[in-house]
Amino acid sequence: MNVDKKLGTNIIQSITKDLQEISGLNLTIGANGHLIYDVDENGKPISNGGSEEARNLITSAISNLTVLKVGYNKSKSYSAGSGIVLSDNQIQGFINGTSSDLDKRTLGYGMVFLHEIDHSTVGSGNVDSKTLGTTGDVVDRMNKIRAQMGFSWGQRLSYPSYQLSPFSKESYLPFSRTALNSLNTGLISLNSTIRVIR
């Protein structure tokens, strides 16, 4: 919240809105700055659709005894121990670079937030593959969330992005088999990709 005041941004609002849509939970920021969700009379999370996998990840992170610290970085999102750092510049670049056949939230504020939580010790602590054309446990979990959200969310098929020219500042993430096959042959796919500016 302090970052939003300092930079004149709406990062917290963007994350919360995306997380609500993805998880189906009614989320708010409590007086202590912690994310909270509405529960029924039995203490169970109240959900309104969305992804069960995302709901489980969020409720598990909130109930974890280790408090997840969230920070800001201008250029890159990442996780370290029990903290995550988010970059609105990077995330907005993902959103702007999303091909028209994919939902803009495919790698938006909520999905990047969930991805980094799962990398942290509050999540699974797993790492992703460094091999082009492969994913890893965290991306696989995010793909499960995407599958529960619908076809237009695609499936990320490579953790590393494809840089087709060593001189280019652009690289591409495939979200379909067709896009992956195109990138593997050195061609840019205009569908089911997210363009990444380095």
Q: CA-based diameter of the chain, in Å?
A: 59
Backbone angle region of 49, left / alpha / beta, with phi > 0 → left and psi within -120 to 50 → alpha: left
Tens-place pLDDT, residues 4-25: 666 666 788 999 999 999 999 9
Q: Which of 156, 137, 166 is nearest to 194 (CA)?
A: 156
Tens-place pLDDT, residues 135-167: 999 999 999 999 999 999 999 999 999 999 888
The residue ranges of every structural domain in the chain are 2-197
The span from the CA of 160 to the CA of 129, in Å, is 8
Tens-place pLDDT, residues 91-139: 999 999 999 999 999 999 999 999 999 999 999 999 999 999 999 999 9
What pairing do the DSSP bridges indicate for beta strands 69-72 and 83-86?
Answer: parallel
The token pair that represents 53 in the structure block: 């996998």
Q: Taking the model in full, what pTM does it have?
A: 0.94
The H or E element spanning position 28 is strand 27-29
